[in-house]
Structure 1
Amino acid sequence: NELMASENPGEEIILADSLIRLNENLIYDTLLMRTLLHNTGLQIASKNQDISELDYKIIESRAYPYLTMSTGYGYTYSGYGTGDLQNQQVHGMNYGLTLGMDLFDGFNRRREKSNARIEIENREIQYRQVEQSVKADLMTIYYAYENNLNRLRLEEQNLEVARENLEIAVERYKLGDLAGLELREVQKSLLDAEERLISVKYQVKLAEISLLQISGSIMDYL
């Protein structure tokens, strides 16, 4: 506490757990379903499809008859300073309806509809491209996740063997049956095994986070 300049030297300090907590139960089919529903790239591509279809409907609606309504209120005051005429006030509401239809616009609407159809098709192609790309990325990351899990189990076994070897080496050293240099080699083997295990855990965690991110489930991690 003193070294950290704590205001309360007697305050109990609880260290955060630095262990790498892994989720070894991620299932590909579940991740794929979540990806198709919640992936950000797919959602954007889907919204673009909706927008292009709405644009087409707007253009198409211009061929329909239209009805407009207008209303207004008028007030007029006329004041006469001389003569026999009295001041006059005129007020009242007026309204009207207009029914119309565009008969010919120089083929502009036909051209706009054609362009809008092409845009819808392009958005559909873009969505499929994004979908295939996302699926490929998901599969690649999941394979890396599975491979690293297999490596993790192997390194856990190697670590257990290294610990047993160290116990045996220490006993032999106590009995004078093992030189100090050989004992240090066994100790180094244990440290190497621990380092490899931490490295593999890190790789598993990276793959796990990437899977949650691509499937739109990153909040499960946070």
Structure 2
Amino acid sequence: MNSIIIKTIKNSQLIVLGLLCLSFNLKAQDNLSLKDAIEIGLKSNFQIQIAGKNIEVAERNNNWLEAGALPSISANASQGFNWSDNNNPASFIQGTSQSNSLTYGADLNWVLFNGFKVKISKDRLQYLQEQSEGNAAVVVENTIQSIILGYYNVLLQQEKLNAIHKLLEVSSDRYKYMQDKKDLGSASTFDLLQVKNALLTDSTNYLMQELAFKNAQRNLNMLMAINVENKYVLTDKLEHTKNLLSIDGLKEKMLSNNQTLKNQYINQNILKKDKNLMRANLFPVFSFNTGTNKTISGFKGNSISGESINTSGNESFTYYANLSLTFTLFNGHKTHRAYGNLKIQEEIADLTINEMELSLTNDLISAYELYSARTAILYLTKSTLENAELNLQIATEKYKTGSISSFEFRDIQTSYLNTAATHLESVFNAISGNTDIVRLTGGIIEDFK
């Protein structure tokens, strides 16, 4: 394509041929709708996969065993060997002797009461799982919003490219027309140079816009976490229909559905459970312990009379059961201080929620007003674009009849291009504004569920 543009000075028809070839190549590519792009992104995005693993860990931890509801059972075994050399005449055992023992058993420990820590810990584990799910939901929201804007940005750059393409075709026809007039002697070299400069400018703008279009495509592929070199034909249109929105309804929906706010509520609940766990340390701990041990022992040596002593296979069994009550009477008020600090942390969490609600309300009102302004601008630019297209058609006919100069015609061309770009950007801005509102009100996941 670059070589085609460079050769436009010698043969402008190659530009149109190159653009037609580009259109043919695009048709051979796979189609991609916005829904498909989001589905691909949700399946492939690395941050979503990481968040999913965090949820899996939280789900595995959320059980009564982790909370300490059931007893712990342990097994133990020990083997001992002893050798001694006794030369004391008063000792019953003389000379070298050896003894051995094997002890094994099992032990059960069960905390029957510890200030309701088990129930509190289980509730806390549930909130930790919900926290992981909430964090994952935020990642999903970010991914969906990024893919939506990335998808429509590709369409925006493509439509801009089409607008420059249209202008480039007009400049190409104009250059050919002026070249024919010069060959017939009815146009000067100066007029031809003016037309050629316009064609070169449009060719340069086309190349730069083509680069912006390719960059937008690669960025969309990155957001979908796929090969950045993949190319698609986007099937959705760069268009937006204004939604009738009520600011009061949006506020209510935001306060109940905004995921960031919901996550803060979960954090507050976790702090409450932490505070209750610390308060549970003020209660006594009542526990039960039971178990059994078996010991097998043996001895080999000589008595003072020189008689050999050899015993083996001696066995003994021990059974035990204990109940214990532990109560911390004083530990330097560490528990009380820690409990007081957690109460302060809970108050900080309440203040954070109030601040977040106020901040989100302000963001929502700003987003609503911005969206309203952008939709109004969208309809204004649409009318302006229709006028610019009609003006360009009229100017083309007038230029061919010599009613306007090449400078005037070029001004009309430039005005059309600027108007088209402004309209396309206003469509994208309206879509972006609507997406921000949907995200703030917590509906972006529901819309693409």
Question: Does the alignment reach a TM-score above 0.5?
Answer: yes
Answering whether residue 232 of structure 2 is matched by residue 13 of structure 1, we say no
Greater shift, 182-191 or 123-132, is seen at: 182-191
Q: Secondary structure, in 3 states, of the residue corresponding to 1:162? A: helix
Partner-residue secondary structure (3-state), 2:234: coil
Q: State the TM-score, normalized to the length of structure 2.
A: 0.41
Aligned residue among 266, 278, 287 for 1:47: 266
Alpha-carbon distance in 2 for matches of 1:117, 1:10:
66
Aligned equivalents of 2:28, 2:312: Cα separation in 1: 94
Equivalence for 1:149: 375
1:103 is matched with 329
Q: Deviations over 1:39-94 (max 9, x none)?
A: 34323422321222112101211222321111222001133566697743222432
Taking a change above 3 Å as real, the CA distance of residues 69 and 26 of structure 1, as seen in their structure-2 partners, is farther
Alignment partner of 2:277 out of 35, 47, 58? 58
- Note if contact 1:80-1:87 (Cα within 8 Å) is conserved in structure 2: no
Do 1:209 and 1:221's aligned partners in 2 also have CA atoms closer than 8 Å? no
1:178 aligns with 2:403: yes
Unaligned runs of 5+ in 1: 4-8
Q: Distance in 1 between matches of 2:238 and 2:267?
A: 40
Provide the aligned C-alpha RMSD in A: 3.5
Q: Deviations over 1:101-128 (max 9, x none)?
A: 3333333333222222111111110111
CA distance 1:17–1:11, shift in 2 (3 Å):
closer
Contact 1:148 1:203 in 2 (8 A): yes
In structure 2, how many angstroms separate the alpha carbons of the residues matched to 1:135 and 1:118? 26
After superposition, the Cα gap between the structure-2 partners of 1:10 and 1:157, relative to the gap in structure 1 and judged at 3 Å, is closer
Q: What is the aligned partner in structure 1 of residue 175 from structure 2?
A: none
The answer to whether residue 246 in structure 2 is matched with residue 25 in structure 1 is: no
Q: Is the Cα contact below 8 Å between 1:56 and 1:116 reproduced in 2?
A: yes
Partner of 2:420: 194
Alpha-carbon distance in structure 2 between the residues aligned to 1:132 and 1:151: 29
Deviation at 1:149, TM superposition (A): 0.5
Query: Which residue identity is paired with 1:119?
Result: Q
Aligned residue number for residue 366 of structure 2: 140
Q: Which has the higher strand share?
A: 2
Which structure has more relative contact order (CA 8 Å, sep 6+)? It is 1
Cα distance in 1 for partners of 2:299, 2:399 equals 127
- 1:6 alignment partner in structure 2: none
Q: Distance in 1 between matches of 2:241 and 2:324?
A: 67
SS in 1 for 2:329: coil
Q: 1:152 to 1:221 in 2, by over 3 A?
A: farther
Residue 150 of structure 1 and its aligned partner are, at CA, apart by 0.5
Structure 1 residues 208 and 183: alpha-carbon distance in aligned structure 2, compared to 1, 3 A threshold: same
Partner residue in 1 for 2:320: 94
Residue identity in the other structure for 2:266: K
Give the structure 1 partner of residue 356 of structure 2: 130
Task: Give 5+ residue unaligned stretches, structure 2.
Answer: 1-17, 19-23, 30-232, 301-307
Q: 1:153 to 1:84 in 2, by over 3 A?
A: closer
Q: 1:207 to 1:10 in 2, by over 3 A?
A: closer
Who is 1:207 aligned against?
Answer: 433
Distance, in Å, in 2 between the alignment partners of 1:77 and 1:30 is 79
The change in CA–CA distance for 1:60 and 1:96 in structure 2 (over 3 A counts) is same
Residue 119 (structure 1) aligned to one of 345, 369, 385 = 345
Query: Is the radius of gyration larger for structure 1 or structure 2?
Result: 2
What percent identity do the matched residue pairs reach?
24
C-alpha contact 2:395 2:404 (8 A) present in aligned 1: no
AA aligned to 2:339 is K
Q: Which residue of 1 aligns with 2:40?
A: none
Q: Paired residue for 1:163, among 384, 389, 392?
A: 389
CA distance in structure 2 between the aligned counterparts of 1:97 and 1:104, rounded to whole angstroms: 22
Q: Which moved more, 1:98-107 or 1:47-56?
A: 98-107
Q: 1:135 to 1:110 in 2, by over 3 A?
A: same
- Asked if the contact 1:23/1:208 (under 8 Å) is kept, the reply is no
